[in-house]
Amino acid sequence: MTFTDEFLTGDYKIHSQNSFTAFEPSYSETIPSSLLRRMGKAVRMGIGAALPLMDRNEKLDGIVIGTANGGLENCINFLNQIIDYDEGTLTPTHFVQSTPNALAGQLALMSKNTGYNVTHVNGPLAFENALLDAMMFLEGKITKTSLLLGAVEEISNYNYNIDLLAGRYKSDSVTNDYLIKSQTNGSICGEGATMFVVSNDANNALAKIVDLKQINFPTKSELEIKLNQFFIDNELTLKNIDLLVLGNNGDIQFDFLYDDVKSFFPADIEYVYYKNFVGDYRTSSAFALFLTTHLLNGQLQNHIGIEGNITKTPKTILIYNQFEGIQHSLIIVESIEHQKRNQIITSKYI
């Protein structure tokens, strides 16, 4: 991924390594250098994405973050010190920075935000759970209420090696414009931070989250039944969806699941992928929501990196992602013009 403005104007670099590393900004205008030196990558990327967004908005009522693993590089550094120095005298920086809630805590600290503060670490559903938490926080609030909602994941040797051992990554490198087509075992590791402001106030909203659902350990028929029920619960039909944003990651072992879900929809359903931009990581669906928000606003449809079949600006999008066929998530997002429900969540991107 690149930083937002560069990405939106089409500045887009092709990755060819066996992991898609984030292109980070200098952070010099966002983070004091004394703090920056001590920050791990996850915390740094998260703050770099969140603080400018928080600055542009009125005081927020809290911070909700999803991250499967938090600051892994610090985690492995601390772990290595424990073993290499036989539990000798260690410095606490790595330990404090490695806790997954370090980002939400640091954001609260830097923005002096004493409001609601939760970090979800539920693996490949960590962002979806954070989104659900934010929706529940906003529901029932009578006055205007807004939260920072985001996700972060970093590549470290630690998770790279662990996931490699688990057979989750390809043995050879592929470029990101070939990732989806590659169809070999495993995917390519990615990383990134994505931040939103979500609110119960529709003014200036960029999109509306209609609802989301998680489905765990389903059979194919259960997946279809639960997906249909999800639409019924929201008084929608599959025909209301005019674009699918799909989490295909080039892994031949599981990509057929996206075809299964696509087959539930009319044969001419339009679709785009998103992991070709950022690679695969546990909270990449936050990037899918970022892409979705732009597509609903007529942006990025003609971006050089877009893969799939999209011919018109969509009004209602379904984001579908799954992890090894075990955890599945569905998020329905509508354009603001199209809104017809009373539950409104604004999302602003950086």
Partner 1 sequence: MQKIFITGMGAISSIGSSVDEHLNALRTGKCGIQKARFFQSRYAEDLVFGEVPFSDDQLKEINNLTSQKEFTRTTVLAVSAFKEAIHNAGISAELLKSDRTAFISSSTVGGMCYTDELYSDANLKAVPSNYARSYEGSDHTLRITKMFEIGGIMDTINTACSSSANAIYLGARLIQTGRADRVIVGGADSIAKYTVNGFNSLMILSDQACKPFDENRSGLSLGEGAAYLVLESENSACDKTKIAELTGFGNSNDAFHPSSTSDNAIGPILSMELALKMAEIKPDLIDYINAHGTGTVNNDITETYALNTIFPKVPPYNSTKSYTGHTLAAAGSLEAILSLLSLKNNELYPSLRCEAPIKTHLSQPISEFGKKELKNVMSNSFGFGGNCTSLIFSKCI
* Residues in touch with partner 1 (CB under 8 A): 62-63, 68-70, 75-76, 78-83, 86-87, 89-92, 95-96, 99-102, 104-106, 108-109, 111-123, 125-126, 129, 132-133, 136-137, 139-140, 157-158, 161-162, 164-166, 214, 216-217, 226, 326-327
Q: How far is the CB of 94 from partner 1 (least distance, A)?
A: 8
Q: How far is the CB of 149 from partner 1 (least distance, A)?
A: 15
Q: Which is nearer to partner 1, 14 or 225 (CB)?
A: 225
Q: How far is the CB of 153 from partner 1 (least distance, A)?
A: 12
* Angle between helices 72-84 and 157-165 in degrees, nearest 10: 90
Rounded CA gap, 119 and 325, in Å?
A: 25
Instruction: Find, among 115, 338, 299, the residue nearest to 209 by Cα.
Output: 338
Q: How far is the CB of 141 from partner 1 (least distance, A)?
A: 12
Are the beta carbons of 345 and 149 closer than 8 angstroms? Answer: no
Distances (CA, A) of 282 to 152, 165, 190, 279, 323: 9, 17, 9, 10, 8
Q: How far is the CB of 289 from partner 1 (least distance, A)?
A: 18
Rounded CA gap, 241 and 244, in Å?
A: 7
Instruction: Find, among 46, 42, 9, the residue nearest to 30 by Cα.
Output: 46
Q: Which is nearer to partner 1, 25 or 124 (CB)?
A: 124
How big is the CA angle at 87 (ends 42 and 74), to the nearest 5 degrees? 5
Q: How far is the CB of 83 from partner 1 (least distance, A)?
A: 5
Are the beta carbons of 82 and 111 closer than 8 angstroms? Answer: no
Instruction: Find, among 258, 262, 125, the residue nearest to 187 by Cα.
Output: 258
Continuous segment of H or E residues that includes residue 132: helix 126-138
Are the beta carbons of 153 and 124 closer than 8 angstroms? Answer: no
Neighbours of 17 (CB within 10 A): 13
Q: How far is the CB of 104 from partner 1 (least distance, A)?
A: 6
